[in-house]
Amino acid sequence: MKHLVGKELTKKVPFMEDEVEVRQLTINTVLKVQDMVNKSAKAKDQEKAQMDLMRSVIRLAVVGAEEISDIEFDTFPLGEITKLSEQILNVSGLGVAGAEAVGNSDP
């Protein structure tokens, strides 16, 4: 198992009628994101904090997104960015789809 330490797992997901490659978040990265979420929850400007959080998560998870500026992010449609964020969580096993698969849907 030691030979797998540091191995990066990725999956291609749809984005804006194309595909991007998403890294599975590691335990360390998830802890970092949780810290960002906690800081975001305490922010005075919640809307800005949420957008900053979304950008940060995308930069951590999407291959090639590390270099995208905030101004460039703001050119993407909000709905597409939101879907991409959901895909990132699903790829990493943190999404809502996992809960639904276990049976947490409405009767």
Grade residue 89 by pLDDT with cuts at 50, 70 and 90.
confident
Q: Is residue 1 part of a domain?
A: no
Specify if 32 maps to a domain: yes
Provide the number of structural domains found in the chain. Answer: 1
Question: Domain containing 79: what range?
Answer: 17-92
In a domain, 3, yes or no: no
Percentage of the chain exceeding pLDDT 70: 88
Task: Write the pLDDT tens digit of every residue in 33-83.
Answer: 889 889 989 999 999 999 999 999 999 999 999 999 999 999 999 999 999
**DSSP class per residue in 15-74:** ETTEEEEEEPPPHHHHHHHHHHHHHHHT-S-HHHHHHHHHHHHHHHHBTT-TT--HHHHT
Residue 6 placed within a domain: no
In a domain, residue 105? The reply is: no
